């Protein structure tokens, strides 16, 4: 089934799907294809129109449309958001213009948790490869138009793996963290649904109980899966960006940067983070 969404602007397909917030999208024949919450999606964008092909399943047309709009945050007026941010923070003008059309996806908490555990001290291409191996080995197949894709494995599928079994994904030292996280979620020791109801600071405290989850990974999970828009994940690019723009290049620790960003940008901190990450990382590539 093909769904057409008109007058969607701005929308930067590559920034959204290949910019470091989701890792299961890949370009095929001029469009992006991926598996999202056990659905196959093929996505294209041109002339302010978003085209989304989705595999036929048990969901209704109305459910598919709501799912797509929720995942891509289509209800939000990003044009106004960018205009307001540029006016209020002119020092961010270049970053916002460069990343115009970037959007924050609404992803599955479990998949986001494991994906960002894998992301620690890792490059985006390698993160993608590890996740793909994990899905091919322990996910379920989805056949669509002659090709086979794989769902993200459930906590149950990963919780009983041995270190040797998970090593086939080449995830390295992260394997033990993946297994432990799966055990904690599967047993109910960590309730991913509960986190949504917590404020950002308490949610971080809850997430960092999971081995392999530090403050940065927790921030990513909260921003990309829970829509905690006051979350401001800090990696090397964000640290450099904030120090350069706001502190004349002077070094600041991560807590100082997070506190500064949350105070300055409030509930829009996460959006600012995405524009800065895309711009500063892009300058180095």
For residue 284, the model assigns a pLDDT of: 59
Residues of the chain with CATH 1.10.1670.10: 79-102+228-285
Which two tokens mark 184? 């904690």
For residue 56, the model assigns a pLDDT of: 66
Q: Is 216 a catalytic residue?
A: yes
Options 2.40.50.70, 1.10.10.10, 3.30.310.40, 3.40.50.720; CATH of 2-75: 3.30.310.40
pLDDT string in tens for the chain (285-residue length): 999 999 999 999 999 999 999 999 999 888 999 999 989 999 999 999 999 999 867 789 999 999 999 999 999 999 999 999 999 999 999 999 999 999 999 999 999 999 999 998 899 999 999 999 999 999 999 998 889 999 999 999 999 999 999 999 999 999 999 999 999 999 999 999 999 999 999 999 999 999 999 999 999 999 999 999 999 999 999 999 999 999 999 999 999 999 999 999 999 999 999 999 999 988 754
Q: Cα–Cα distances in Å, from 210 out to 100, 116, 198, 223?
A: 34, 12, 16, 17
CA–CA–CA angle 27, 111, 241 (5° rounding): 70
Q: Which of 37, 93, 94, 216 is catalytic?
A: 216
Fold of 79-102+228-285: Endonuclease Iii, domain 2 (1.10.1670)
Residues of the chain with CATH 1.10.340.30: 109-225
Which two tokens mark 6? 């008109």
- Residues 6 or more apart whose CB falls under 8 angstroms from that of 208 comprise 214, 215, 218
Burial letters for 203-232: b for 16+ Cβ neighbours within 10 Å, e otherwise?
Answer: bbebbeebebbebbbbbbbbbbbbbbbbbb
Residues of the chain with CATH 3.30.310.40: 2-75
Q: State the architecture of 109-225 in CATH terms.
A: Orthogonal Bundle (1.10)
Give the whole-angstrom CA distance, residue 66 versus residue 71.
8
């Amino acid at each position: 089934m093909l769904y057409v969404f008109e007058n969607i602007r701005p929308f930067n397909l590559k920034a959204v799907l290949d910019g470091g917030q989701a890792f299961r999208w890949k370009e095929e024949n001029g469009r992006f294809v991926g598996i999202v919450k056990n659905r196959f999606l093929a996505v294209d964008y041109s002339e302010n129109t978003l085209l989304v092909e989705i595999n036929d399943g048990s969901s209704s047309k109305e459910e598919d449309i709501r799912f797509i709009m929720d995942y891509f945050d289509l209800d939000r007026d990003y044009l106004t958001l960018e205009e307001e941010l540029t006016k209020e923070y002119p020092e961010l003008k270049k970053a916002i213009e460069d990343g115009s059309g970037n959007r924050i996806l609404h992803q599955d908490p479990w998949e986001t948790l494991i994906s960002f555990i894998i992301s620690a001290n890792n490059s985006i291409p390698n993160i993608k490869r590890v996740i793909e191996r994990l899905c091919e080995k322990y996910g379920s197949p989805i056949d669509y138009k002659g090709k086979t894709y794989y769902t993200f494995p459930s906590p149950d599928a990963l919780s009983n793996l041995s270190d040797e079994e998970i090593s086939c994904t080449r995830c390295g030292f992260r394997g033990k963290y993946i297994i432990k996280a799966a055990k904690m979620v599967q047993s109910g020791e960590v309730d991913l649904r509960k986190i949504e109801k917590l404020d950002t600071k308490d949610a971080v405290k809850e997430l960092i109980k999971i081995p392999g989850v530090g403050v940065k990974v927790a921030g990513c999970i909260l921003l990309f899966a829970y829509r905690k828009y006051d979350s401001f994940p800090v990696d090397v690019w964000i640290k450099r960006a904030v120090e350069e723009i706001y502190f004349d290049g002077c070094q600041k620790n991560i807590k100082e940067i997070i506190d500064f960003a949350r105070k300055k940008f409030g509930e829009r901190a996460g959006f600012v983070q995405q524009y800065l990450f895309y711009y500063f990382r892009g300058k180095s590539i």
